[in-house]
Amino acid sequence: MSTKYKRILLKLSGESLMGNQKYGIDADMLKQFAADVAEVCALGVQVGLVIGGGNIFRGVQAAAAGIDKVSGDYMGMLATVINSIGLQNALEAHGVQTRLQSAIHMSQIAEPFIRRRALRHLEKGRVVLFGAGTGNPYFTTDTAAALRAIEIEAECIVKGTRVDGIYDSDPEKNPNAKRYNTLSYKQVLEQSLGVMDLTAITLCQENKLPILVFDMNTPGNLKKLVLGEPVATVVSE
């Protein structure tokens, strides 16, 4: 079966792991995401993966608790590593070989991020999970995803959300929201569509890296996407 993409960077939010819970990791969501990734790996697609940490810790919580911005951001980075370990285990339960690389040195549980090593793992068919964001405060996991996608020469960033693409307003609140099939980076920035943060969009624009936004909560959608089916909004030049 021929796929449209050979190497992708999948970006998931930490909140997507919560399912119907208010915080933490829902085991069923973890299993579903792992099954979907395993499905595309079986087609020969190379997958890098970045997951946020919002289900465990957010910077706004830190600010409210009187924790300074930099400390709060580091706490958020550690939360992404927790999620990455969970997803790594779920993937391996599906027989997928994985490697976890961290932007913050923690040799007992993850390799340091080394670009050449990441590329080699991908070439061998391993899913590489990139934890701890960029390793720097003030940068989101969206920016980390854009950066890692460029570094591993991914053909696109695939952003999994709860809705089937990008809309002109929140479709969960506005039943008349209009869905876009395609957008330019300029339109996303000018209309403040909130696809990813400004730094991430600019990085993608400068490196001509397409962003595909789709519904990850529907099982099988990731496979449809890599086969070229129109299940995503595509942001490109």
Q: What's the burial of 101, exposed, middle or buried (CB within 10 Å: 0-12/13-18/19+)? A: buried
Of 63 and 24, the structure prediction assigns the larger pLDDT to 24
Q: What is the CA radius of gyration of the chain?
A: 17
Distance CA 205, CA 202 (A): 5
> What pTM was computed for the model?
0.94
- DSSP, collapsed to helix, strand or coil, labels residue 63 as helix
Q: Give the pLDDT band of residue 65 (cuts 50, 70, 90).
A: confident
Distance CA 134, CA 31 (A): 26
pLDDT (average), residues 21-34? 93
User: Is residue 100 pLDDT above 90, yes or no?
Assistant: yes
- Read off the pLDDT of residues 113-152 as tens digits, 9 standing for 90 and up: 999 999 999 999 999 999 999 999 999 999 999 999 999 9
Instruction: Please report the domains of the chain, with CATH numbers, ordered by start residue.
Output: 7-236 (3.40.1160.10)
Instruction: Tell me how far apart the terminal alpha carbons of the chain are, to the nearest angstrom.
Output: 28
- Read off the pLDDT of residues 66-80 as tens digits, 9 standing for 90 and up: 888 899 999 999 999
Q: Give the pLDDT band of residue 189 (cuts 50, 70, 90).
A: very high
Nearest Cα to 184, choosing from 117, 109, 237?
Answer: 237
- The mean pLDDT of the chain is 94
Distance CA 107, CA 232 (A): 37
Distance CA 195, CA 184 (A): 12
Give the angle 186-218-43 at the CA atoms, nearest 5°.
85
